[in-house]
Amino acid sequence: MKIALALAFSLLASVSVAEDVESVVTLLEFVIDVDEETAAKCLATLRQRVQSGEVTGEQRDAIREQLADKLREVLDTGRESPLYIDTLMLATSWGDKDATRVARDIIANSKESESHRNAAIDALAASRDSGLLSSAQALLEANSTSEAIRSRLLGALGRYDGPSVAVLVLGCYEQLSPNVQPQAIELLTQRASWSRLLLEAIGHNELPASALNINQVRTLLASPDQEIAALVQSHWGAVRTERNPAREGVIRQMRDQLGKASGNPHRGRGIFNRVCGQCHRIYGVGQDVGPEITRNGRGSFEHLLSNVFDPSLVIGASYQARTVITADGRILTGLLAEDNEQRIVLKTQGGKVEIVPREDVDEIAISKLSLMPEGLEKQLPPEQLADLFAFLSLDRPPENSDAIPIAGTPANLIGD
Ligand code: HEC
């Protein structure tokens, strides 16, 4: 029997789902009855492939039809069934009306667990549920919504087309916490119609141009829309797509500036979380898009300066940014996590994983530059840079009394 279970799982995880709907259905019905743990995994795998669009069209409809009775049985059992949530989210992902109603209630209910609410967000977004869109603003603004749910929601909104997404996100941008704002910007750079509204908001000073890092500016430049490219030039001037040799000058200037400065490492941690934590983990906190930097990249102050201000000087090939344009007009920038005949998987700033079925890839470009954005010195005023470097120049968290400055740290940099 173990073999049958392993087979069920591998069938679901492979391409052959497409050709082999019958076996998938038979095996799933079988595991749901005999082995809940495997069934949960299978349901989750199938759900992921439905949500990413790898299982779609006629195959999806055939699986949905043939599994309907079995899934209904689980759903009728209700929450006592350990498979209830997995089943509910699968059914929601392919637009089942009853399941959709329940999933909407889960999202709106702050007593539900974060993981259930997040799963419901992904499932509703997969079927482009209009209910999710109309409750999104209230959810983003509600005090009871955690940061994790807000950022999940912003990631999910990328599925929707139409300017209303940009209008609602820009409408509540101010109320988002500084850690979540970069994700809102990342979302708005993904579609031309949204980017235009974002650029207009910057033009009207509703939002500072520095809210975008250089990678996001480059994403906008990659837009096929000429008007957007022209607006970008007017706010940011010419943007390089190759390493800028002048970065060495910037390092010199920053060495000088930080040599005279004094910063507060505790405040620096907050700045790190906002600007760097989207991609890096340090002391166990942050996303793992770029390298973990508790142990890496901070061997000495010089090393740190070079890594932060000239990130494209040395790039590991796996850290070159990829830009994927999808058939439905989304522009996604991130690191390549998977690339095969079936799909491309990108890990984007904020830690979100984007799965694009190969046939939905319109264009893919490799940047000569690191995903780590350069020009951070322009995003942060001098006092904040001093705080950030006071934090980064300690070898341990600032509250740890054993923390000492890394080699070469200017004498006055770490203040209190
Ligand atoms: C959009 C994602 C992103 C952001 C934001 C980002 N980084 Fe990076 N960072 C990377 C990537 C990717 C690399 C690996 C670079 C490479 O090999 O080119 C990297 C490399 C580094 C390294 C060198 C690590 C090593 O292994 O040598 C340090 C240090 C670093 N970043 C610090 C920072 C700091 C400090 C900030 C905030 C001011 C920041 N990064 C913001 C993605 C990011």
pLDDT over 80 (residue 41) = yes
Number of Cβ atoms within 10 Å of the Cβ of 121: 24
Helix (H, G, I), strand (E, B) or coil at 336: strand
215 C-alpha to center of ligand 1: Å?
12
> Between helices 21-34 and 36-52, what is the axis angle to 10°?
140
Mean local confidence (pLDDT), 205-217: 86
140-157 residue pLDDT tens: 998 889 999 999 999 999
In the prediction, which pLDDT does 117 show? 96
DSSP state of 406: P
Structural domain boundaries in the chain: 1-94, 247-312+374-392, 317-370
Residues 377, 385: contact at Cβ < 8 Å?
yes
Using 50, 70 and 90 to split pLDDT, how confident is the model at 266? Answer: very high
Report pTM. Answer: 0.78
Helix, strand, or coil (residue 403): coil
Ligand 1 atom with least separation from CA of 272: 37
Tell me the residue type at 158.
G
- Which CATH number describes the domain made up of 317-370? 2.30.30.100
pLDDT per residue as tens digits for the range 299-356:
899 999 999 998 887 777 778 888 898 988 898 989 999 998 889 999 988 888 999 9
- Six-digit token string for 396: 């341990």
Distance in angstroms (rounded) separating the CA atoms of residues 189 and 221: 10
Is residue 278 lining ligand 1, measured as CB closer than 6 Å?
Answer: yes
Report yes or no: 43 and 49 within 8 Å, Cβ to Cβ.
no
Q: Which of 6-20, 268-282, 333-347, 383-397 has the least mean pLDDT?
A: 6-20
Asked if 195 contacts 220 with a C-beta cutoff of 8 angstroms, the reply is: yes
Task: Judge contact between 366 and 244, C-beta under 8 A.
Answer: no
> Which atom of ligand 1 is nearest the CA belonging to 380?
38
Is the torsion defined by CA of 143, 270, 264, 246 positive or negative? negative
Work out the angle at residue 19's Cα, subtended by the Cα atoms of residues 14 and 22, and round it to the nearest 5 degrees. Answer: 100
Q: Report the C-alpha gap between 415 and 394 in whole angstroms.
A: 11
Beta-carbon contacts of 136 under 8 Å, excluding residues fewer than 6 positions away, are 153, 157, 168
State residue 213 phi and psi, 5-degree precision. Answer: -85, 170
Q: Please tell me the distance between residue 310's alpha carbon and the centre of ligand 1 in angstroms.
A: 10
Report the separation in Å between the CA atom of 368 and the middle of ligand 1, taken as the mean of its atom positions: 15
* Residue 304 to residue 301: CA distance in whole angstroms: 5
Would you say 137 and 174 are in contact if contact means Cβ atoms under 8 Å apart? Answer: no
Q: Report residue 16's pLDDT band, with 50, 70 and 90 as the boundaries.
A: low
Q: How far is the CA of 393 from the centre of ligand 1 (A)?
A: 15
348-381 pLDDT tens trace: 888 889 999 999 999 888 887 888 888 888 889 9
Task: Determine the Cα–Cα distance for residues 346 and 338; give it in Å rounded to an integer.
Answer: 7
Going through 167-210 in order, the beta strands assigned E by DSSP cover none
Res. 400 pLDDT band, cuts 50 70 90: very high
CA dihedral 82, 88, 91, 97 (to 10 degrees): 150
